[in-house]
Amino acid sequence: MAKGVKRDLKHSEEAVDPSIHSSDAKPSPPSKKCKTSPAVSATAASDDDDVRFIGKPVPADQAREKWPHRYESKKRVKVIVSSDGELEKEIVQAKCHYTKAVVDGVSFDLYDDAYVKAEEGHPDFIARIVEMFETVDKELYFSAQWFFRAEDTVIKSQAHLIEKRRVFYSEMKDDNPLDSIVSKVKIIQLPPNVDLVEKEKALSSYDLYYDMQYSKPVTFTTLHKENIITESGESSVISDDGSSNGVVESGNKNAKSTKSNEKGKSEMTLLDLYSGCGGMSTGLCYGANMSGVKLVTKWAVDIDPHACESLKQNHAETQVRNEAAEDFLFLLKEWEKLCKEFDLLGSKHDEDTSVKSEESDSEEVDEKRDPYEGEFEVQKLIAVCYGDPCKTNNQKLHFKVRWKGFGPSYDTWEPFDGLSNCMDSIREFVTRGYQSRILPLPGDVDFICGGPPCQGISGHNRFRNYTDPLKDPKNHQLVVYMDIIDFLRPKFVLMENVCDIVKFADGILGYHAVGRLVSMNYQTRLGIMAAGSFGVPQCRLRVFLWGANTMMNLPQFPLPTHEVVGRGVVPVEFKDCIVGSDNDKPHKLEKSILLGDAISDLPEVTNNNGKDEMEYAGAPRTSFQKYIRSRKPVLGKGSSKKMMLYDHRPLELNEDDYARVCHIPKIKGANFRDLPGVRVGKNNIVEWDPSVERVLLPSGKPLVPNYAMTFVRGTSKKPFGRLGMDDIVTTVVGRAEPHNQALLHPNQDRVLTIRENARLQGFPDHYKLCGPVKARYMQIGNAVSFSVSTGLGYTLAKAIEGVCTSKPLKLPVKFPDCLGQLSSLKQDIEE
């Protein structure tokens, strides 16, 4: 390679370094082409005033003290090889250092910012000059500390969300020929959340600004003046008395935040969007409480009525709303207007005031009165919603009215604009609702979590929009989720989604999510977590995105606690986002939890078992089972109420499917291929055995259905597949039909029960579900693994307590089994 050309530069189009104008999960400094082929030498500089160092060299003793790595060898390059022999780091050796240079007639000082030549057709790169030195080969070099434009980070194609003048500081550095400098650029560091007037005033004499740092893997964090080091110890930054904001430096793991934990042990409020049955929020609250932070799910929203019923069943303290997220956002905006109109904003909340029970309250009712005769008088308002509850094709604000003299069965939804003569009743309802916080207002919510459905990217959707997924209505909930965050502005955010969000259409939805949070000045961190890594027998992968406002510490991810196999596939760009994959200090992992560890203690049930409650058949056999049976905290350890087993019932298969299941051998891995008349041909493709007559069921239908033979072009072993007690399930799905999934119990002729699936997700046995059987399966399949959300709640609490680190955090020993012990200890203390 010719001298002066940066070493990692790839000349062929196929081998272009992806970090040049795209994000890498493990970002590298931008690659460049230099202005000239060879680096300018000191000898040449004497004849060419365009590129040279000026002034005296830095005294040798000072240079060696400040840049000792440059004076370790007389060879041009010193190569450092990592202990595993895989990584090489080349350090160019220096003859002497300088503090000033001239390039094309322009003078540059050490720590000036500059544009650096990029490849043809690309915008010049942006760097801070942090070293100037002449090499032992008499070549002129500078060391660049890079800034990233939004399009050069993981935000990529969604860079339009970020202001053009905004760049991102990084700690990534490399060495470059001095003549690759193009021109000066003036960059200022702005404090977080500076107001628009001050911002424009500060930028009047600068070209660009930065207020966040971008680092691997996919992390944006708030920068403060003390983080930026220059020769003089100062930085170009406008003053901000609140710039510390309680955020501690990333290197100090045990530092305490003065403002992050300002609530002390008081309650922190959580809004769970797309809540489902509550697996994510409940786990987060469990995990936070493990570390002493009282996190409470105050509000929850989901469009599925059965999931809402389940959440209410387990969380009586939560305001659960069964409505679309879009309608919820419109309602919040209308609610804020009403609170302003009645001069409530800023007044004190009264948590003891409640409107929750009013739907069942009523005055004396005249049962003989004809409800369709005479005038109606409003007794009171009992609920509010935005939408079309009366199915009139007219979306608007509605109140639920209790009519005087009539019971709850005559309650009706009435549009707000039709209640103009009832302003006293409206004022009374809004006042009570404000005091009891039936709806959150901006500033009320500490934490928003949720997994906006993106059905438009699902692999099950054959009509996916590859060109512009954001225009697909099925992906619109991601936008709605971010809009709700933008309106409520919580302190913390956590978004969960399937891995397709970073795989489909070059990961545009993932880039959009990160871009939206950063555009709202939220620090962000993206990670991919395998459920099996946290003590459950499944290897489902999910993407999680943390957000924290600039006043808070950005939460970390928890390190894996258990071995796991078969994590699934993620793009190379995001491989380092798998939590724990780059852990430089490996810790001992517990052995994988297997299917038998989770379900072997459960009573035998048959295909047509219809009981929602039953007694346990015996004592727990494993530590997992002991933990999963932990009593609900509200019962107390000494409660005389007998522990019951809920939802241990399977989907009742029809007669044909049940007959097929009974023919599947009770051997791990057995499936429809073991049925008579099926044989395996070339390339592992099934075919009919011509020597065997096709077996028919009593109904006249074939024992081996055609769809099993053709599934995945005849290569799949999943139809009517039987699990083994030593299996780890690929993922818990929302459907229980065994037609295209291995769902059969290892030694019983049925599919796994709702409770068995719930255990695979880590749900405690006391968590009771509601709705039809199929709806309960769907709730569990759609839920975030309880052990994963619990671990995330723990790391959230650590961030609130002041822990701020660039590395994932260790969970308590024997997680998640320790939760049962902690629960028992807590109950002992309370008693």
CA distance 268 to 284: 12
Banded model confidence at residue 42, pLDDT cuts 50, 70, 90: low
Is the pLDDT at 328 greater than 50? The verdict is yes
Is the pTM above the cut of 0.85?
yes
CATH number at residue 750: 3.90.120.10
* 725-764 confidence digits (pLDDT tens): 999 998 899 999 999 999 999 999 999 999 999 999 999 9
In a domain, 798, yes or no: no
- pLDDT value, residue 217: 85
Is the pLDDT at 286 greater than 70? The verdict is yes
Active site residue 539: no
Is the pLDDT at 36 greater than 60? The verdict is no
700-704 contact pairs (CB < 8 A, 24+): 701/656, 703/659, 703/660, 703/663, 703/675, 703/676, 703/677, 704/660, 704/672, 704/675, 704/677, 704/678
- pLDDT value, residue 569: 73
What is the mean predicted confidence (pLDDT) over 145-174? 96
Annotate 187-219 with b (16+ C-beta within 10 A) or e (fewer).
Answer: bbbbbbebeeeebeebbeebebbbbbbbbbbbb
- pLDDT value, residue 87: 61
Dig out the tokens for 269 from the structure.
């409020």
What is the mean predicted confidence (pLDDT) over 317-322? 97
CATH number at residue 74: 2.30.30.490
Domain ends where: 749, 770, 786?
786
How high does pLDDT run on average in the chain?
85
Is the pLDDT at 250 greater than 60? The verdict is no
Is the pLDDT at 358 greater than 60? The verdict is no
Same domain, 37 and 176: yes
- pLDDT value, residue 830: 39
- pLDDT value, residue 592: 94
* 415-443 confidence digits (pLDDT tens): 999 998 899 999 999 999 999 999 999 99
Catalytic residue among 454, 539, 577, 770: 454
Is the pLDDT at 93 greater than 70? The verdict is yes
* 770-826 confidence digits (pLDDT tens): 999 999 999 999 999 999 999 999 999 999 999 988 899 999 887 877 765 544 434
Percent of the chain with pLDDT over 70: 80
Crossing angle of helices 423-436 and 325-341, rounded to 10°: 110
Question: SS3 sequence, 634-664?
Answer: HHCCCCCCCCCEECCCCCCCCHHHHHHHHHC
Residue 770 belongs to domain spanning: 595-786
Is the pLDDT at 277 greater than 70? The verdict is yes
Q: Which residues, listed in sequence order, are joined to residue 751 by a DSSP beta bridge?
A: 744
Banded model confidence at residue 463, pLDDT cuts 50, 70, 90: low
- The answer to whether the CB of 550 falls within 8 A of the CB of 524 is no
Same domain, 170 and 21: yes
In a domain, 603, yes or no: yes
Domain ends where: 416, 436, 456?
436
Dihedrals φ, ψ of 337, to 5°?
-60, -45
* 490-501 confidence digits (pLDDT tens): 999 999 999 888
What is the mean predicted confidence (pLDDT) over 217-237? 63
Would you call the peptide bond into 816 cis, given omega within 30 degrees of 0 as the criterion? Answer: yes
Q: Which residue has the tokens 């509200």?
A: 634
In a domain, 87, yes or no: yes
In a domain, 736, yes or no: yes
Lowest model confidence (mean pLDDT) among 6-10, 526-530, 563-567, 635-639: 6-10
In a domain, 530, yes or no: no
Sign, Cα dihedral of 434, 439, 440, 446: positive
Same domain, 354 and 214: no
- pLDDT value, residue 744: 98
Banded model confidence at residue 193, pLDDT cuts 50, 70, 90: confident
Same domain, 223 and 354: no
Dig out the tokens for 702 from the structure.
């074939």
> Shortest CA distance to 608 belongs to which of 644, 645, 657, 668?
657
What is the mean predicted confidence (pLDDT) over 534-539? 93
| Number of domains the chain is built from | 3
In a domain, 179, yes or no: yes
In a domain, 481, yes or no: no
Banded model confidence at residue 24, pLDDT cuts 50, 70, 90: very low
Domain ends where: 409, 436, 463?
436
Banded model confidence at residue 336, pLDDT cuts 50, 70, 90: very high
Lowest model confidence (mean pLDDT) among 255-259, 431-435, 451-455, 737-741: 255-259
Q: Which residue has the tokens 């700690």?
A: 171
In a domain, 654, yes or no: yes
- pLDDT value, residue 700: 96
- The answer to whether the CB of 23 falls within 8 A of the CB of 155 is yes
Q: Which residue has the tokens 């040049």?
A: 20
Annotate 733-763 with b (16+ C-beta within 10 A) or e (fewer).
Answer: beebebbbbbbbbbebbbbbbbbbbbbbbbb
Dig out the tokens for 725 from the structure.
């007690």
CATH number at residue 391: 2.40.50.40
